[in-house]
Chains A and B, each alone.
Chain A
Amino acid sequence: MNKIKSKEIVFFGKITAGITHEIKNVLAIIQETSGLMEDILAVTPDETFTHKDKFSTSLNRIFNQIERGVDITTRLNKFAHSPDHSPANVDLNEVSEQMVLLASRFTRLKNVVLKADPHDTSMIIKTHPVALEMAIFESIEILLNALSSGGKITLSPRKIQNKCILGIGYENTVLPEEDFLAKISPTERWASLQEVMAYLGGTAKVFGLAPEILLHLPESIDD
């Protein structure tokens, strides 16, 4: 990756991270304002407010959406800081959960549920965070484009024979791995994924009857 490209990514990340702070401030104001309404409601006698229940239900909906907004902006902020240090220590469990939140909109458009199935213990590797996120996203897109709509994609970090692997699996179709590979290997996305994985010092392979892309990652990549 050339120097300007790296600078572009850092710039993009910096601006995005700054904006997430602004969004959080907006959410904080909405939270306090609706919280104040809730406080006032709590000291208002039932008989003086006919629609108290409906008002209270609406406030709870606002609180739930604030929580959702905070979660999304927190993840987005973390994502935006990904280019700050590269390589950096990354927990595969954490990055899987982060990608679920950030990529769910793309899977939802194809009625696919995106989930993370974290490993029992943290799986920390030293890698290039942005490239890893790109590899996960490319894998999700490969599955979305190659397979029927509906079902579930699961991101599952695991260790096999002491090797760090991140599985991106699709649970809706039975498709032998050679057929799946034949379908995806001529695509540009698959070539792009191979390129990103080579940059990360790893490989991408397909596995199993329920199609799964396995990202084999080294525990540490050189600076």
Chain B
Amino acid sequence: MLQLKVLLVDDEQEFVTTLAERLELRGMHVEIAMDGEMALSIIETDPPQVVVLDVMMPGLSGMEVLERIKAIDPKIQVILLSGHGATKDGIKGMQLGAFDYLIKPVDIDELIEKLNETAKNVV
């Protein structure tokens, strides 16, 4: 079975590191980035198959990062994590090419389900 390579992008360090551990326990290969610039740099050098991307971050916003990811490689799947006002962010994100969006705090089973769905598209 394909080991999914995931990049988690969120400025809340404790959130991303813990979520990364949980995904690793489920057999995924996970990298983390604390902001958009760092995420793009990882994507350029060691592209993941899926990016889980927070919408609200200091510096480059999630939407800007999403646009740049799609410009680098449209095949990279992006799942957005948004707080409140999820529908608005979600619709905008999907228009920009996001695979889907989830609301924070994220339900791990729902996230795994979405990641598995993206896996079908990245083989």
**Are A35 and B108 in contact, CB atoms less than 8 angstroms apart?**
yes
Residue in A21, A25, A39, A81 whose CB lies within 8 Å of B25: A39
Distance A24 CA – B83 CA, assembled complex (angstroms): 7
**Are A24 and B104 in contact, CB atoms less than 8 angstroms apart?**
yes
**Are B14 and A33 in contact, CB atoms less than 8 angstroms apart?**
yes
Among B16-24, B40-48, B58-66, the one that faces the other chain is B16-24
**Are A27 and B84 in contact, CB atoms less than 8 angstroms apart?**
no
Residue in B15, B22, B83 whose CB lies within 8 Å of A29: B15
Q: Point out which of A17, A20, A21, A28 has the most chain B C-beta atoms below 10 A from its C-beta.
A: A28
B28 CB, nearest partner CB in chain A, Å: 13
Residues of A77-113 at the interface with B, using a CB-CB cut-off of 8 Å, are 77-78, 81
- Please, how many residues of chain B have a CB less than 8 angstroms from a CB on the other chain? 16
Decide yes or no: A27 and B105 within 8 Å by CB, A21-B56, A36-B18 being known contacts. yes
**Are A33 and B84 in contact, CB atoms less than 8 angstroms apart?**
no
Distance A27 CA – B103 CA, assembled complex (angstroms): 12
Q: Which residues of A contact B84 (CB under 8 A)?
A: 17, 20-21, 24, 74, 77-78
State the total of A-B contacts with C-beta under 8 angstroms: 51
**Are B83 and A21 in contact, CB atoms less than 8 angstroms apart?**
yes
A188 CB, nearest partner CB in chain B, Å: 35
**Are A66 and B22 in contact, CB atoms less than 8 angstroms apart?**
no
Residue in B18, B56, B83, B85 whose CB lies within 8 Å of A32: B18
A31 part of interface (Cβ distance < 8 Å): yes
**Are A25 and B15 in contact, CB atoms less than 8 angstroms apart?**
yes
B106 part of interface (Cβ distance < 8 Å): yes
Residue in B19, B105, B108 whose CB lies within 8 Å of A24: B105
B12 part of interface (Cβ distance < 8 Å): yes
B32 CB, nearest partner CB in chain A, Å: 12
**Are A25 and B18 in contact, CB atoms less than 8 angstroms apart?**
no
Q: Which residues of A contact B22 (CB under 8 A)?
A: 32, 35-36, 39
**Are A33 and B25 in contact, CB atoms less than 8 angstroms apart?**
no
Q: Which residues of A contact B85 (CB under 8 A)?
A: 77, 81
A84 CB, nearest partner CB in chain B, Å: 11
A2 CB, nearest partner CB in chain B, Å: 29
B52 CB, nearest partner CB in chain A, Å: 12
A114 CB, nearest partner CB in chain B, Å: 23
Distance A29 CA – B18 CA, assembled complex (angstroms): 8
Residues of A118-155 at the interface with B, using a CB-CB cut-off of 8 Å, are none
Spell out B's residues near A (CB within 8 Å).
12, 14-15, 18-19, 21-22, 25, 56, 83-85, 104-106, 108
